Amino acid sequence: MATVQIDLPEPTRERKRNLLDFADWSEAEVAALFDTADVMAQVLTRTIKKVPALQGFTVGTLFFEDSTRTRLSFERAARAQSADVISFAAGGSSLSKGESLKDTLRTIDQMQADVYVVRHPAAGVPYQLARWTDASIVNAGDGRRAHPTQALLDAFTFRNRFPGFDGFAGKRLVIVGDVVHSRVARSDVELWRLLGGEVVLCGPAPLLPPEVAPGVRHSHRLADAVEGAHAVMALRLQRERMTSGLLPSVAEYVARYQVTEEVLRMAHEDALVMHPGPMNRDVEIAGNVADGPRSVIEAQVASGVPIRMAVLYTLLVGKR
Amino acid sequence: MSRLAIRGARLLDGAGDHGVADVLLEDGTIAAMGEGAAAGAETLIDAGGALLTPAFLDLHAHLREPGQEVKEDLASGLAAAAAGGFGTVVSMANTSPTVDEPGIVADLVQKAERLSKARLRPAAALSHGLRGETLTDYAALQEAGAVMITDDGIPVANGRLMRSACEYAADLGLVVQTHSEDPSLRADGVMNEGEVSQELGLPGNPDAAEAAMVFRDCEIARLTGARVHIAHVTSKRSLQVVEHFKALGAPVTCEVTPHHLTLTDAALRSFDPVFKVAPPLRTEADVAYLRDALRRGVVDSIGTDHAPHTRAEKERDLMSAPFGLPNIEVAFPLLYTRLVETGELELPALLALLQDGPARVMGWTVPRLEVGAPADLVLLDLETERAVDPQRFRSKARFSPWAGERLRGWPTLTVVGGVVAHRLEERVATS
């Protein structure tokens, strides 16, 4: 294999074992991870998009819920650093045979992976698994709770794309839509607050969380929420929110909460438009906004692999 | 029947403290009390000054038989009850099949009698299959031995059905116990809705879901005159509703559980499904209100809601793990250590919630230490501290939120009908 010289940062003295959420992460640790992701992004622009950084390590992906895009992104991130990858797509199959989550993990743990990337429809599963294994755990999305690598790539995209970026302090992120059911929104709020930014949550009352965290404002009016914002993120609206009686209709939602060019005029002149995907074009976001000059939605997607490379690198290097 | 004597126990019951004395048990009743009463006994147990008091009554336990013996059965459940100092247990009807036919009630009663552990007093289902659609035959169920009507585990969503159930039960003098949570408001909640559920991203179940249905069930009690026992009241709001109706003279009683008196929703931060119970663990303010209500005499009984599951079921994720935890073996030591030793509650008040209180809810004779009374007794060691060791549970559910906690107040001897149903075996230290 061709060896490509790259200059990766030294691991921090206190090696992080897991990425479950950001509760035990510091601003400096996230900043260092972003610096690592910059280097990884560089690697991915080269002819040979592979470095030996994680040679000899094994990354296990444990997806109890389908998510081809996230799983592929993690597997690419592992292989680009020469790690071995084992994939376990559960879909609840073994659990339905009466095996407990702990039994499942113990069986899989015989594969001796160094890190497990876990996606599960129930909140808390990555925490439960972290109690039962010595391997590192990366939360790739648990229920409504957290999706930290998505939040990292959102913030990383903002950092790299906001004109004249000089830090997150004073930067306002507006998240519009179905916040209460969104693990992405929850992680975005947590990370944005950790980095020193402000957050405004906007949507109809049944889709906003009941409790307001410090540094987070609620608004039910999109024009007010977006005023002066540096980033506007629209969330996917699921059809089942209408059928389960939380909202009257798609038309009502579109009229009041769709991110449009008109709404964006209220925002900061350099404001970026984001969407964690998958998009319902012309529902939560106007198609011309998604494709417009302020949209960094493609850059978000492109940040996925380098951010996940940086996460795996940060957790694994220095291990053993 | 053998003559069993307990020597040198401090005697305490709902009538007061009777000092240290000997007690002779014969033919299932207390045959003699006082100095020298132990003379002529075939078996003599030296109490060493421990507290002898009537065995506890639990109006709310899930013993899982028939059909869910992998979780618990009558033998393990009634042995666990005896180990917890309970002499009488009302078993819930949410089994497979549910206890909705007289034959099932009769089978349970017969089987339990052969076990010589705690006495079983089965509850019967309020509706066939706990489906909340059609009434079961209360008269026939009562004839077979059922003492209570309840769909516990599943709230009765249909108010009209609950009204009919109460009308029938009132006529028969049966207590209707309710699991009061509005199912549509509760929705898919797996824990209390509030700051912690928001933090954890787990679907919340608001206290309004409980209070709203407690209100409905109290109104139905007022309307029908049925004796309605509100099971596991967990929140300040629900208890305030009960207090409101008690003040009106409605025939309403209520229960709290050991876990809702000692744990809060903060425990879910561990993401350990052992803390997933229904109704959910609430906030510190709710726990404080419940504890204050014990002092004020607003609560009628402590029921365990002992709800055993297999270890594997509780090692699932929080969304799919079942509700409920096992606690019947630790209920008294837990509450004694946390509430009485800390000075929050007087010992007689705690005992009343496990003896006279539940007896009055059911319309049973209050248990007394007196000659001729049933020999259902428990000896409590209030001095020795012992760690909760789930591996030694008689229950099949060998896990506990309180594992490793050092508690006092362990039942060292439980006698039911004059027969030893439990004796604490100390672990013998090996060198």
A128 contacts in B (CB within 8 Å)? 271-272, 315, 317
Asked, for residue A66, whether it belongs to a domain, the answer is yes
- Residue A73 in contact with residue A304, Cβ under 8 Å? yes
Question: Could you identify the residue written with the tokens 């510091």?
Answer: A26
Tokens, residue B145: 């031995």
Contact B201 A103 (CB under 8 A): no
Asked, for residue A22, whether it belongs to a domain, the answer is no
Contact A124 B193 (CB under 8 A): no
Asked, for residue A308, whether it belongs to a domain, the answer is yes
Contacts with A79 (C-beta within 8 Å, 6 or more apart), sequence order: A50, A85
Asked, for residue A114, whether it belongs to a domain, the answer is yes
B195 contacts in A (CB within 8 Å)? 211
Contact A143 B193 (CB under 8 A): no
Averaged confidence pLDDT in chain B: 96
Domain identity same for A163 and A254: yes
Asked, for residue A16, whether it belongs to a domain, the answer is no
Work out how many domains chain A is built from and give that number: 2
Contact B271 A100 (CB under 8 A): no
Domains in chain B: boundaries: 4-52+371-423, 55-362
Domain identity same for A139 and A32: yes
Contact A122 B312 (CB under 8 A): no
Geometric angle at alpha carbon B344, from B242 and B12, rounded to 5°: 90
The reported pLDDT for the residue numbered B429 is 40
> In the predicted model, is pLDDT for residue A241 greater than 90?
no
Asked, for residue A14, whether it belongs to a domain, the answer is no
A124 contacts in B (CB within 8 Å)? 200, 202, 271, 317-318
DSSP structure string for B44-96:
EEE-TT-EEEEPEEEEEE---TTT-TTT--HHHHHHHHHHTTEEEEEEPS-SS
Please compute the mean of the pLDDT values over residues B178-185 and round it to a whole number.
Answer: 97
Count Cβ atoms within 10 A of the Cβ of residue B116 and give its class: 0-12 exposed, 13-18 middle, 19 or more buried: middle
- pLDDT (tens digit, 9 = 90+) per residue, B119-147? 999 999 999 999 999 999 999 999 999 99
Tokens, residue B209: 């879901």
Tell me the CATH class for B55-362. Answer: alpha beta
Count Cβ atoms within 10 A of the Cβ of residue A242 and give its class: 0-12 exposed, 13-18 middle, 19 or more buried: middle
Contact B201 A98 (CB under 8 A): no
Domain identity same for A95 and A199: no
Domain identity same for A162 and A289: yes
> What is the band of A96 on the pLDDT scale with cuts at 50, 70, 90?
low
Right CATH for B4-52+371-423 from 1.10.150.120, 2.30.40.10, 3.40.50.300, 3.30.470.30? 2.30.40.10
Domain identity same for A271 and A188: yes
> What is the band of A302 on the pLDDT scale with cuts at 50, 70, 90?
very high
> What is the band of B255 on the pLDDT scale with cuts at 50, 70, 90?
very high
- Which of B13, B305, B376, B381 is catalytic? The answer is B305
| C-alpha distance from residue B386 to each of B309, B333, B347 (Å) | 24, 9, 19
Identity of the residue in A98, A124, A211 whose CB atom sits nearest the CB atom of B318:
A124
Range of the domain at A33: 27-146+304-313
- The answer, for A292 touching chain B at a CB cutoff of 8 Å, is no
Which residue of chain A is at minimal alpha-carbon distance from B269? A124
Q: Specify whether B305 is catalytic.
A: yes
Domain identity same for A213 and A271: yes
> What is the band of A11 on the pLDDT scale with cuts at 50, 70, 90?
low
- pLDDT (tens digit, 9 = 90+) per residue, A138-186? 999 999 999 999 999 999 999 999 999 999 999 999 999 999 999 999 9
- pLDDT (tens digit, 9 = 90+) per residue, B309-336? 999 999 999 999 999 999 999 999 999 9
A146 contacts in B (CB within 8 Å)? 201
> In the predicted model, is pLDDT for residue A205 greater than 60?
yes
B315 contacts in A (CB within 8 Å)? 100-103, 128
Geometric angle at alpha carbon A98, from A97 and A100, rounded to 5°: 120
- pLDDT (tens digit, 9 = 90+) per residue, B5-46? 999 999 999 999 999 999 999 999 999 999 889 888 899 999
DSSP element (H, E) containing B214: helix B207-224
The CATH number of whichever domain residue A256 belongs to comes to 3.40.50.1370
Which residue of chain A is at minimal alpha-carbon distance from B191? A123
pTM of structure = 0.92
Averaged confidence pLDDT in chain A: 91
- ipTM here: 0.85
The reported pLDDT for the residue numbered A1 is 42
- Residues above pLDDT 90, as percent of chain B: 95
Contact A123 B319 (CB under 8 A): yes
